[in-house]
C-alpha cells in the first residue's frame, strides 16, 4: 500500500461518517484538520511525559496513526502532493548544514 492508497482509504472513512457533508458537526476544513493534527500530536507527547519510553506501544501506535491520517487528509484537502513535498524537503535538508554545538 502506498501514500495514495492510504489517502483514499482515509477519505472513504471520513465520507462514511458524513464529515465531508456541508452541515457536518465536524466540518473537515483545513483549519479544523490542522487543529486536530496538533491535538493528536500532543497525545503522542503524553506517552513520554515523565519517562524516556512509552509504556504502551499499542496505544502509541494508535496515536501515530491518528497523526498520519490527519496529515494525509490535510495535504489532500489543501492540494499538496505529500509524497513530493517530503522528497523536496529531504533534498533541501541534504543541502543544509547543522551546527555541531
- Per-residue pLDDT tens digits for 55-77: 999 999 999 999 999 999 999 99
CATH match for 30-95 among 3.40.50.1370, 1.10.3720.10, 1.10.287.1080, 1.10.10.10: 1.10.287.1080
| Domain spans, the chain | 30-95
Q: What is the maximal distance between C-alpha atoms in the chain?
A: 52
Task: Tell me the three cell numbers of residue 38.
Answer: 496538533
Q: Cα separation of 74 and 41, whole Å?
A: 14
Q: Which residues contact 63 (CB under 8 A, 6 or more apart)?
A: 40, 43, 44, 47
Question: Hey, is 69 helix, strand or coil?
Answer: helix
pTM of the model: 0.91
Residue 11 pLDDT exceeds 80? yes
Phi/psi at 49 (5° precision): -65, 125
Write the pLDDT tens digit of every residue in 12-48.
999 999 999 999 999 999 999 999 999 999 999 999 9
Residue 98 pLDDT exceeds 90? no
Amino acid at each position: 500500500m502506498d501514500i495514495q492508497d492510504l489517502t483514499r482509504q482515509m477519505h472513504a472513512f471520513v465520507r462514511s461518517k458524513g464529515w465531508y457533508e456541508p452541515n457536518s458537526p465536524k466540518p473537515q476544513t483545513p483549519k479544523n484538520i490542522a487543529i486536530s493534527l496538533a491535538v493528536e500530536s500532543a497525545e503522542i507527547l503524553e506517552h513520554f511525559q515523565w519517562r524516556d519510553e512509552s509504556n504502551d506501544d499499542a496505544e502509541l501506535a494508535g496515536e501515530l496513526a491518528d497523526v498520519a491520517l490527519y496529515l494525509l487528509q490535510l495535504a489532500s484537502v489543501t492540494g499538496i502532493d505529500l509524497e513530493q513535498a517530503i522528497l523536496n524537503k529531504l533534498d533541501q535538508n541534504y543541502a543544509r548544514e547543522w551546527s555541531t554545538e
